[in-house]
Amino acid sequence: MSQMPVKGNSVLITTMVGLFAIAVLGGLLIGKKRSTSETQTVAQPDSRGQFLYQGMCASCHGSEGRGDGVSAENLKSAPRDFSLRPWKTLIDLPSIKKVIVEGIPGTVMPGMKNALAEPDLDSLANHVLKLADQNPSPTMKVFSKTDRLASDAGFVLVANSAAPLLQLEDEQGNKLKLSDYKDKTVMLHFWGVQCPHCLKEMQSLLEVEKSFQGRSFVVLHVCTDEEDAKIAQQIASKYAPGIKIVVETSGIGLARYEVQTLPAFWLIGGGGRTLARSTGARDWASNACLTFIESLIPN
């Protein structure tokens, strides 16, 4: 995922502490009202979960769980959009509670440890699950039954629809578009020069290209954070000599593909139809990845 200023961690921690204090104070006030007046209406579990979420999570994940909170831009990596798939964990209450308590090591997601009482933890987890289940991405439809090959490779199948347009350019200034590869399976690799995970796996992705050399398969390495294709090419070549990169020149291509975290991948079939998508680094030399890609390449 793309590198952001380190100061984002301190901003996150300060924000979380302040908002957590507000959430706890709200809980104390509710408890006080309950003890002093039996007729006082107490917050129901759903409203309590929403209250805790807005106080402790929304500044990063956004009020609707889209990963677009006010603090998101200051973080080293983009917060999860709960509507997108796949998750790195199961999408159920035990898994969500575990992440809330323990956080996610190696990311900016902190753990709450024992800060929440069990009823509040349940309420918060239920609200996150509600956002995940009832807030689907407006432009994506995921098949209810993911193909085993895709699942094993870390991809999720998407609706077979026309791939969004991209305006691409290489370091020589050549203009490219997806329709240039209408008879091939295309893997779009969205990466960034400031994304260490992206740069680390450049060589392994180049090896994937070589594995299917001569076949109807191509990888388009689309740089997301450098407008000058020559600069992006120079950086990528240091990590994977021989790799060919492009930049997106329209300014809206990333939004069309809902790229929120890096690296991100889309597989486009012959005729320019969307097949599958994924986010995050992986072992591209694995049998699961190679087998899945193989299954999508026309004979």
pLDDT digits (tens, 9 = 90+) for 234-293: 999 999 999 999 999 988 888 889 898 899 999 999 888 999 999 998 899 999 999 999
% the chain with pLDDT above 90: 43
Q: What is the mean pLDDT of residues 97-121?
A: 87
Is 76's pLDDT higher than 70? no
Domains and CATH numbers, the chain: 7-134 (1.10.760.10), 148-296 (3.40.30.10)
pTM over 0.75: no
Asked whether 282 and 154 are in contact (CB, 8 A), the reply is: yes
Tens-digit pLDDT profile for residues 42-74? 334 468 989 999 989 988 888 888 777 787 767
